[in-house]
C-alpha cells in the first residue's frame, strides 16, 4: 500500500536548497496511508506550502513529490486532521514542529 512520509526538519531550509531526493530516514519520518491523505487533498489544497524548494510556493501537498510545510501553515494543517483518529501520530508530529517553530517535510507517494 502506498504511503506518505512526514518528518520534522531540524535545520530550516534555505532559499537555494532543493529537495529532490527521497530521504525519509534522514528526517525520522512517520508513515501515513495514501488512502487517508487522498481523502483530504481538497481540504489541504488551500494550505500554503513549498514544493521541492522555498523558491516554489504552492498550495497543498506535492502528491508525487516533496513538500516543505512552513511553520506558519502547521496550525491550518492540524485543523484539517484534528478530529480524525487515524492521524493521531501525524497530529503529534505537527504539534511538536509547531511548538518548536520548525518546518515539516512531506515525501509523497
User: pLDDT band at 107, cuts 50/70/90?
Assistant: very high
Mean pLDDT of the chain: 96
Angle at CA 108, nearest 5°, toward 32 and 38?
Answer: 60
Between β-strands 104-107 and 66-69, what pairing exists: parallel, antiparallel or unpaired? antiparallel
Query: Which cell goes with 50?
Result: 513549498
- Flag whether pLDDT at 69 surpasses 90: yes
- Flag whether pLDDT at 1 surpasses 90: no
The C-alpha atoms of residue 85 and residue 49 are separated, in whole angstroms, by 24
Compute CA 106 distance to the chain's CA centroid, rounded to the nearest angstrom: 4
Task: Return the closest-CA partner of residue 66 out of 80, 56, 76, 77.
Answer: 56
Among residues of the chain, what percentage have pLDDT more than 70?
100
At 3-47, the pLDDT tens digits run 999 999 999 999 999 999 999 999 999 999 999 999 999 999 999
The pTM of this model reads: 0.95
Amino acid at each position: 500500500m502506498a504511503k506518505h512520509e512526514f518528518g520534522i526538519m531540524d535545520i530550516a531550509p534555505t532559499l537555494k536548497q532543493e529537495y529532490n531526493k527521497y530521504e525519509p530516514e534522514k528526517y525520522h519520518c512517520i508513515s501515513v496511508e495514501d488512502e487517508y491523505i487522498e481523502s483530504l487533498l481538497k481540504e489541504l489544497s488551500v494550505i500554503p506550502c513549498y514544493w521541492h524548494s522555498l523558491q516554489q510556493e504552492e498550495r497543498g501537498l506535492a502528491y508525487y513529490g516533496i513538500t516543505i510545510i512552513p511553520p506558519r501553515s502547521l496550525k491550518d494543517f492540524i485543523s484539517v486532521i484534528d478530529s480524525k483518529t487515524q492521524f493521531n501520530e501525524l497530529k503529534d508530529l505537527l504539534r511538536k514542529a509547531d511548538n518548536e517553530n520548525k518546518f515539516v517535510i512531506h515525501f509523497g507517494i
